Structure 1
Amino acid sequence: MYQRSNEVETLSLYIDGEWRPASGGAYFDSVDPFTSEVWSRVPAASAEDVDSAVRAAHRAFTSGPWAEMSPTQRGRLLHRLGDLVAAHAEKLGELEVRDNGKLLAEMLGQMRYLPEWFYYYGGLADKIEGAVTPAERPGVMHYIRYEPVGVVAAISPWNSPLVLTVWKLAPALAAGNTVVVKPSEYSSASMLYLAKLFDEAGFPPGVLNVITGVGKETGEALINHPLVERIAFTGGEAGGRAVYQAAAKSFKRVSLELGGKSPNIVFEDADLDDAVKGAVAGVFAAAGQTCMAGSRLLVHESIHDVFVEKLIAFVGSARLGDPMDSATDIGPIATPPQFQKILDYIAIAKEEGARCVLGGERATGADLGGGLFVKPTIFTGVNNRMRIAQEEVFGPVLSIIPFKTDDEAVEIANDTLYGLAAAVWTQNLDRAINLPARLRAGTVWVNAYRVVSYLAPFGGFKNSGIGRENGKEAIREYLEAKSVFLNTKRGVPSPFVMRLPSVN
């Protein structure tokens, strides 16, 4: 098993190809969610540091090696970076676990898959093609070219820091932009390590800059900077709303990947064993700390009791413990504020009349480190109007809601402010094909859950966000379409249509 070092590492900002402390000399602590001990000191970037990072990105975008590179050359750099990420996957995974407490097995899987984003967008970099439209006026040619937006601010959350940052970085860089990354103050170390790999891959100074700090100070300075043209944000609904409102003041382009209250729908003809595993993967993997968590389990009334019994037996066997231990099934909650929020929602559910059939409290034990553990919790007797069914908990808490008909299932599934993801468990071909079209969600899985791909656009309907990440859709988010009209005829007619009066 991985052995944690007792040394506290002091990290640095990465600006214009250089490592430097924050200009004000301030630091904040990064705490290991399992041990509750400080394991690194992270620089708290000031508005001055933010300005330096954005200006470095702007210089790199407007002049110098990056601005002069062909798309093919940019693609080769991204491919080289992918190779380096693959070679350092284990280190990156360990850093993620120290920062957010997720299972090492899950983080290693993510890090080993992460290079595919750099390979995919590296290959796509020189496939961005314009178009010539049919001639509409004699002698006038019109064509469309696609150009990078400029400086992109990428703001990522604490729950999956590198994955959700790379979803922004890879397409933005493939399109020719430069980027300033602001990771969560709770999980900055892995992004700073990734910056070292950018350096090793040969990216010119200023193409990538990483500033760390508290959202209200560092984040606001970045969002409001006049040289930032586009903001890519992943986080909670409240944070997304604040970003959207701030960006609107200067008409910055924005993409937002926000929260969810995703329905996981189990029909009477489903393979129940597979559906149980899907329900567990949907909300208890990562201790429920994922935007796409299937936190509402809709179960057909005819199988409700049998399914709940199977689910309780399966989840009840889960082992809580050190996320670095391969035998652990569920790790700690990432931060003390999130830990308390989950406990508060459990209390709210009980007050509303939901019946707690499993868990429902913090977990304690000598092998649970600093104690930020919540027992996997299942509520039955939930109706869709309860807060536990409408508001994002972001923890290992599952609400089970019965339904009678397909129409009722769809109605319940869509009856939420969110629309990030949904799943359908059925052996009925008609349902499998036609039901996804009726669900108001950006991603729908059939007989699966939490499957993502660099090929597949990801994003939400309604309050779950704006724009898409991954796939060809994502690179369009970082491009501007420009129309060019080219007159090929000589002798431009006079712009004046009125004739002067004759003079006698």
Structure 2
Amino acid sequence: MDTQSVFIVDNYIGGSWTPPASGKRVPSLNPARHGETVGEVPVSGIDDLNRAVAAADEARRAWNMLTGAQRGAFLFKAADLLENRIEEIGRTMTREMGKTIGEAKGETARGAAILRYYAGEGMRKTGDVIPSTDADALMFTTRVPLGVVGVISPWNFPVAIPVWKMAPALIYGNAVVWKPATETAVTASLVMQCFHDAGFPAGTVNMVVGSGAVVGQGIAEHPGIHGITFTGSNGVGKRVGQAALARGAKYQLEMGGKNPIIVAADADLELAAEAAVSGGLRSTGQKCTATSRAIVVSEVYDAFKEKLLAKVSNLVVGDGLDAKTWLGPCANENQYDTVMNFIRKGKEEGAVLLVGGERPDDPALREGFYVTPAVFEGVTPEMSIAREEIFGPVLALIEVRDLKEAIAAANDTEFGLSASLYTRNIGNALTFIKESEAGLVRVNAETAGVELQAPFGGMKQSSSHSREQGTAAIEFYTSVKTVFVKP
């Protein structure tokens, strides 16, 4: 049993740490040792949310009156604080959701980089001069904030995703009400402490911890919230979008993926196998951009499979705080059960389990939500493991005749988040780029890779067709105002 102190988490409303109105908290458990409590986190309700929205509404006008450079100065301070606390935040993240300590610290560093990127955006242009047909008039556009933005973030990236939503919201003059995932609310509280210590004006950034059904849906339905940015499952995302649409609020949804890596006949098989393992199994497969399907041309199928299985067999499963660990536990019991059910379905539907898909034998891992990385072959397009998002360390091998069939198989999904091709042929690459039905396409790189300065989002059922990150973020977090001035 870990003897570390248990965090007691409060909501952050109007510049102060505030207990939930219910007085209730639930434990946040370590998925590596589910008998270990990392923290006690709030069970908040609509009263807590109403107070947070009121605080944000009161703060937003004064915040917007600051210049972009002045707002950026606060983001720069928050970035420094986040970077200085990498060790504490990374360790807490690993204890709370299982990610390896190297990945957790890397994610925290990325959060600092995102804050700095958007801090700089405070000095960028926010409009254009447009020629008028009236010779005496000046016509131009500017951008104005939405007002109060509701942020609903998931547990798999408890620092990077909320930061890449909050940073642009703030730099463009909005106030924020953030609902982090309950499963990673301790980590969220450490991030929020950085915003507090950076001196953000009271009410500019608020955090309310509670269930998606209460606080998340409350954000979607709240008349005082003017825009909602959501990352999570498709089912929940659609409910958020419907609620926002019903009252005319702006919304942005980033949802699931069933991301393929295509291995062409001329691919570098060593690099392709490494990409399938890294893209599909790192972070225990708990990324929306994780590789779920490896679609391999018959000519190189056996050679690729051999390399892939050799790499998978060498992966070390264990506690993310152990430096030797490559793959930690599933983030919680529900996710572990989901992964095991998909593995069972795969076998029942006729796929062949080549390796993994079970609890590790190590007695030291019995208390955690561990599953050994699984690789299936003989997978056909109608099988559950070929169609549904698993969000776990499961790879489905699909054999095809040629690149044309591979691209068709890759597109045969309701999702369209990311896709990858390994080839040495520029013609293959150009065909793939043109025909792939995904918002992020990568050639000779794994599916799971998102650069903070580039637009990110999916096609089909993977998103609301908006884009996050980079300069594209301004499109969601602001509205265009056209100005006509005549003396």
TM-score (norm. length: structure 1):
0.94
User: Which digits, 9 at most, give the CA deviation of each residue in 1:275-307, with x for residues without a partner?
Assistant: 111000111101111111110100110111111
Structure 1 residue 308 and structure 2 residue 301: aligned?
no
Residues 1:69 and 2:66 aligned together: yes
2:127 paired with 1:133: no
In structure 2, how many angstroms separate the alpha carbons of the residues matched to 1:4 and 1:147? 49
- Which residue among 112, 120, 123 is the counterpart of 2:120? 123
Q: CA deviation at 1:141?
A: 3.5
Equivalence for 1:378 = 375
1:54 corresponding residue in structure 2: 53
Aligned 8 A contact 1:144 1:481 in 2: yes
1:433, distance to aligned residue in structure 2 (A) = 3.5
Counterpart position of 2:33: 35
CA contact (8 A) 1:421 1:460 kept: yes
Q: Distance in 2 between matches of 1:190 and 1:38?
A: 13
State the partner residue of 2:452: 454
- CA deviations 1:144-175 (Å, max 9, x no partner) are 11011110000000111111111101111111
Secondary structure of 1:477's counterpart equals: helix
Structure 1 gaps of 5+ residues are 489-504
Question: What is aligned with 1:90?
Answer: 87
Following superposition of structure 1 onto structure 2, how do residues 418-457 of structure 1 map, counting pairs within 5 Å? 418-449=415-446, 450-457=448-455
Unpaired runs of at least 5, structure 2: none
Q: Which position in structure 1 is the counterpart of 2:235?
A: 238
Equivalent of 1:210, from 207, 210, 234? 207
> Which residue among 247, 258, 272 is the counterpart of 1:275?
272
Q: Deviations over 1:421-442 (max 9, x none)?
A: 0011111122234422211111
CA displacement at 1:470 relative to structure 2: 1.1
CA distance in 2, matches of 1:82, 1:142: 37
Partner of 2:407: 410
Q: Which amino acid aligns with 1:44?
A: V
Match of 1:327 among 318, 324, 327: 324
The equivalent of 1:353 in structure 2 is 350
Amino acid at match of 1:26: K
Kept after mapping to 2: 8 A contact 1:167/1:470: yes
- Indicate the SS of the match to 1:181: strand
Deviates more, 1:365-374 or 1:398-407: 365-374
Residue pair 1:418, 1:462 contacting (<8 A) in 2 also: yes
- Alpha-carbon separation, structure 2, partners of 1:86 and 1:292: 25
Classify the secondary structure of the residue corresponding to 1:298.
strand
Partner of 2:144: 147
* Partner of residue 247, structure 2: 250
Q: Is the 8 A contact 1:442 1:458 kept in 2?
A: yes
- Which amino acid in structure 2 is aligned with residue 451 of structure 1? G
Q: 1:468: which partner in 2?
A: 467
2: CA distance, partners of 1:421 / 1:183: 24
The one-letter amino acid paired with 2:288 is C
Q: What corresponds to 2:485 in structure 1?
A: 486
In the other structure, the counterpart of 2:294 is 297
After superposition, the CA RMSD in angstroms is 1.4
Shift of 1:60: 0.6
| Distance in 2 of aligned mates of 1:5 and 1:462 | 47
Provide the secondary structure at the position in 2 that maps to 1:186: helix
Letter aligned with residue 51 of structure 2: S
Deviates more, 1:427-436 or 1:195-204: 427-436
- Give a deviation string over 1:451-490, Cα, whole Å, max 9, x none: 22111111100100021111100122101001222333xx
Q: Kindly indicate whether the alpha-carbon contact (under 8 Å) linking 1:128 and 1:146 is maintained by their aligned counterparts in 2.
A: no
Partners of 1:363 and 1:371 within 8 A in 2: no
Name segments (4+ residues, structure 1) moved above 3 Å. Answer: 3-6, 137-141
Amino acid at match of 1:463: Q
Q: Which has the larger radius of gyration?
A: 1
Select the residue among 213, 217, 220 that pairs with 1:220.
217
Per-residue deviation, 1:28:
1.0
TM-score by length of 2: 0.97
Matched, 1:13 2:11: yes
Aligned pair count reads 484
Aligned counterparts of 1:367 and 1:432: Cα–Cα separation in 2? 46
Partner Cα distance (1:128, 1:487) in 2: 23
Residue pair 1:364, 1:373 contacting (<8 A) in 2 also: no
Offset, 1:359: 1.3
1:396-441 deviation digits (Å, cap 9, x = unpaired): 1110111122211111111100000001111112223442221111
Q: Which residue of 1 aligns with 2:188?
A: 191
Contact 2:289 / 2:417 at 8 angstroms: preserved in 1?
A: yes
Structure 1 CA distance, aligned partners of 2:2 and 2:454?
36
